[in-house]
Chains A and B, each alone.
Chain A
Amino acid sequence: MLDWLISLWSDPNTRWILLGCMLLGLGSGVIGSFTFLRRESLLGDTLAHAALPGVCIAFMLNEVKSASLFLLGALFAGIAAVLCVSAITRWTKIKSDASMGIVLTFFFGVGTVMLTHIQHSGSGSQSGLDKYLFGQAAAMVTSDVYILMGVSVLLIVAAILLFKEFKLISFDPGFARGIGLPVGILEHTMLILTTVAVAAGIQAVGVVLVAALLITPAAAARYWTDRLPVMLAFAGLFGALSGASGAAISTLGEGIPTGPVTVLVATLLFVLSLLFAPGRGWFSKILRHRNLKSTYAQSAERSALNAAEGGTPK
């Protein structure tokens, strides 16, 4: 185990990839905490699935595989998807969860058709685009990792600088507007940051599962604390752990895609938090309930004894 870790670290290429995935997890965990608290977790999934046609179009226009162009394609497709969702909720009576479902599957369907078409064309079979479905961190080159790092730093810096504003629009957007915050602009900023996180993450984790990096670490982190800054730190930590271990395990070879492994680790952390976190965790709750019960039983017993002896309960 230790040997394996050392050998991972000693290979400079793997080291870069590990670091990149770790930072991606960190940034996604932090920004995902806000979407989680705003109950917009499904949004990340919509953005991610919508990214697939964007990536395909970027490839078809240029016939080359370029992480920065794919990032742009994913960004535009994500924004288009969000516009579709808000158009549907605005002009019809369909609620946002259903309209996200419609848009998400439609974009993904279009993306899959495009992807199949590319795979069957001459240049496409070597494109490695199929790796974008479930992610292959090992296929990243140094410049991809730089992009990942840049994006993660952007996410974290934005979350720190706009912490107070993001907190308020997550807790009480009506009040935020009342005190003069530009809530619309802030909401769009958060949306774009989420889109960037998703778009940057798809190469490593894949369009199908990248949303898990936004949702699961945040949900796990909520169990450990009642303070938002601490929650952000935990979510970042869980995201980083998931990203890094996903990358590490998938580099073992045998073509294990990174996304599923990352998600499995994130989910494991979530289940552990759910069960063992002090305070909000399941065991802690059971224990507290049992203590309460026994204290109550004891005091009831005592007063019953007192009553039997004819004395007044003290």
Chain B
Amino acid sequence: MNQTSTKNAPLTVNGMTIAYQRKAVVEDVSFTLPEGKLIALIGPNGAGKSTLLKAILGLVPSISGEVSIYGDTYKKMRSRVGYVPQRESVDWDFPTDALDVVMMGRYGHLGWIKRPGRKEKELAMNTLDKVGMADFARRQISQLSGGQQQRVFLARALVQEADLYVMDEPFAGVDAATEKAIIALLSELKQAGKTVLVVHHDLSTVDEYFDHVLLLNKKLIAAGPVNTTFTPELLHETYGGKLAIVSSDGKKALVGE
């Protein structure tokens, strides 16, 4: 995107290729994220969006490619990155409550053996309050709705006090209240100068929620500000025949897959 400020950009990916059993899932992807923006990563199912995120965070191996975060390796900059995995990635019947899950976000700062104390608890409580979940702090996590679980995951990432946030489909299957809470949170993060990269599915909300987009379908099709990059032509190129553009009342609605 912003080729001028690559030096200390929140995230620069260079020539990233990822393959599962010889089949390339992500091919030669390069981009740089601008600081202090909300960025959507969009593309059809199987385009490699989650895989790309995981490879950036070192959770799946890449065949080639470099990742630099604030001008240094991910390993060194790990504490500046907050990750919100897909909700389905964990067992929600695990014996723990919402507050405890949020406190897990502080484990990286705590170090070995030490247990979270009053300070961590306070911080976690405040963050739960921020996502509108303070009343559910002591609720066992399986007793929460899908949207509430998503907000707990967000709170856990927020409590890390990172600068770059990476979220894997935070809007998937959530209720309207949660969607609103997430949006409020995203703009708050932006106000604070944080950079947020979000895997997003709902094309109809992209121009409302985000500043920048990355269009991915195995290869990076385009990257840039929403008003210049989120165009029917580029979307068509990204989604191929799977995209229908429905026009009604002069309003443009995009339906992916």
Interface residues of A in 241-281 (CB under 8 A from B): none
- Smallest beta-carbon distance A163→chain B, Å: 8
Interface residues of B in 157-214 (CB under 8 A from A): 160
Contact of A171 (CB < 8 Å), options: B91, B116, B160: B91
Q: Report the stretch among B27-35, B103-111, B228-236 that lies at the interface.
A: B103-111
Contact A172 B78 (CB under 8 A): no
Known contacts: A172-B90, A226-B95. The answer to whether A178 contacts B59 by CB under 8 A is yes
Contact of A175 (CB < 8 Å), options: B58, B96, B104: B104
Tell me which residues across on chain A come within 8 A of B140, comparing CB atoms. Answer: 226
Contact A172 B110 (CB under 8 A): no
Q: Is B81 an interface residue (CB 8 A)?
A: yes
Interface residues of A in 227-253 (CB under 8 A from B): 227-228, 230-231
Contact B107 A181 (CB under 8 A): yes
Q: Is A225 an interface residue (CB 8 A)?
A: yes
Contact B96 A171 (CB under 8 A): yes
Query: B84 — nearest CB in chain A belongs to which residue?
Result: A175
Query: A224 — nearest CB in chain B belongs to which residue?
Result: B95
What per-residue 1/0 map shows which CB atoms of B79-91 lie under 8 Å from chain A? 1010101000111
Contact of B83 (CB < 8 Å), options: A171, A175, A222, A231: A175
Measured in the bound complex, the distance between the Cα atoms of B97 and A231 in whole Å is: 13
Measured in the bound complex, the distance between the Cα atoms of B58 and A176 in whole Å is: 12
Q: Is B63 an interface residue (CB 8 A)?
A: no
Measured in the bound complex, the distance between the Cα atoms of B101 and A37 in whole Å is: 15
Contact B107 A179 (CB under 8 A): yes
Tell me which residues across on chain A come within 8 A of B78, comparing CB atoms. Answer: 178-180
- Smallest beta-carbon distance A224→chain B, Å: 10
Q: Is B246 an interface residue (CB 8 A)?
A: no
Q: Is A101 an interface residue (CB 8 A)?
A: no
What per-residue 1/0 map shows which CB atoms of A140-181 lie under 8 Å from chain B? 000000000000000000000111110110111011111111
Tell me which residues across on chain B come within 8 A of A176, comparing CB atoms. Answer: 107
Known contacts: A175-B85, A178-B78, A226-B140. The answer to whether A170 contacts B107 by CB under 8 A is no
Measured in the bound complex, the distance between the Cα atoms of B94 and A227 in whole Å is: 9
Contact B95 A179 (CB under 8 A): no
Contact A172 B85 (CB under 8 A): yes
Known contacts: A171-B90, A174-B85. The answer to whether A179 contacts B108 by CB under 8 A is yes
Measured in the bound complex, the distance between the Cα atoms of B97 and A226 in whole Å is: 8
Interface residues on B, range: 20 to 34
Contact of B96 (CB < 8 Å), options: A161, A163, A178, A228: A228
Known contacts: A171-B90, A175-B85, A180-B79. The answer to whether A228 contacts B95 by CB under 8 A is yes
Contact B107 A178 (CB under 8 A): no
Contact A164 B115 (CB under 8 A): yes
Contact A222 B59 (CB under 8 A): no
Contact of B57 (CB < 8 Å), options: A172, A178, A226: A178
Known contacts: A172-B90, A178-B78. The answer to whether A231 contacts B104 by CB under 8 A is no
Tell me which residues across on chain A come within 8 A of B113, comparing CB atoms. Answer: 161-162, 164
Query: B21 — nearest CB in chain A belongs to which residue?
Result: A93
Contact B96 A227 (CB under 8 A): yes
Measured in the bound complex, the distance between the Cα atoms of B85 and A180 in whole Å is: 15
Contact A178 B81 (CB under 8 A): yes
Measured in the bound complex, the distance between the Cα atoms of B116 and A174 in whole Å is: 20
- Smallest beta-carbon distance B33→chain A, Å: 18
Measured in the bound complex, the distance between the Cα atoms of B143 and A97 in whole Å is: 30
Measured in the bound complex, the distance between the Cα atoms of B112 and A233 in whole Å is: 22
- Smallest beta-carbon distance A39→chain B, Å: 8
Interface residues of A in 173-231 (CB under 8 A from B): 174-181, 222, 225-228, 230-231
Known contacts: A172-B104, A227-B96. The answer to whether A179 contacts B160 by CB under 8 A is yes
Known contacts: A178-B59, A179-B108. The answer to whether A170 contacts B115 by CB under 8 A is no
Query: B85 — nearest CB in chain A belongs to which residue?
Result: A174
Contact B90 A227 (CB under 8 A): no
Contact A222 B107 (CB under 8 A): no
Query: B140 — nearest CB in chain A belongs to which residue?
Result: A226
Interface residues of A in 50-100 (CB under 8 A from B): none
Contact B58 A168 (CB under 8 A): no
Tell me which residues across on chain B come within 8 A of A226, comparing CB atoms. Answer: 95-97, 140
What per-residue 1/0 map shows which CB atoms of B56-89 lie under 8 Å from chain A? 0111000000000000000000110101010001
Measured in the bound complex, the distance between the Cα atoms of B96 and A160 in whole Å is: 17
Measured in the bound complex, the distance between the Cα atoms of B245 and A16 in whole Å is: 78
Contact B104 A171 (CB under 8 A): yes
Measured in the bound complex, the distance between the Cα atoms of B160 and A48 in whole Å is: 41
Measured in the bound complex, the distance between the Cα atoms of B112 and A60 in whole Å is: 43
24 examples of A-B residue contacts, CB within 8 angstroms: A37-B91, A39-B91, A163-B115, A164-B107, A164-B114, A164-B116, A165-B112, A171-B101, A171-B104, A172-B85, A174-B85, A175-B104, A177-B58, A178-B81, A179-B78, A179-B107, A179-B160, A181-B107, A227-B95, A227-B97, A228-B94, A228-B96, A230-B95, A231-B95
| B interface list, Cβ under 8 A from A | 54, 57-59, 78-79, 81, 83, 85, 89-91, 94-97, 101, 104-105, 107-108, 110, 112-116, 140, 156, 160
| A interface list, Cβ under 8 A from B | 37, 39, 161-165, 167-168, 170-172, 174-181, 222, 225-228, 230-231
- List 7 tightest A-B contacts by C-beta distance, closest first: A179-B108, A226-B140, A178-B83, A228-B95, A180-B78, A172-B90, A171-B94
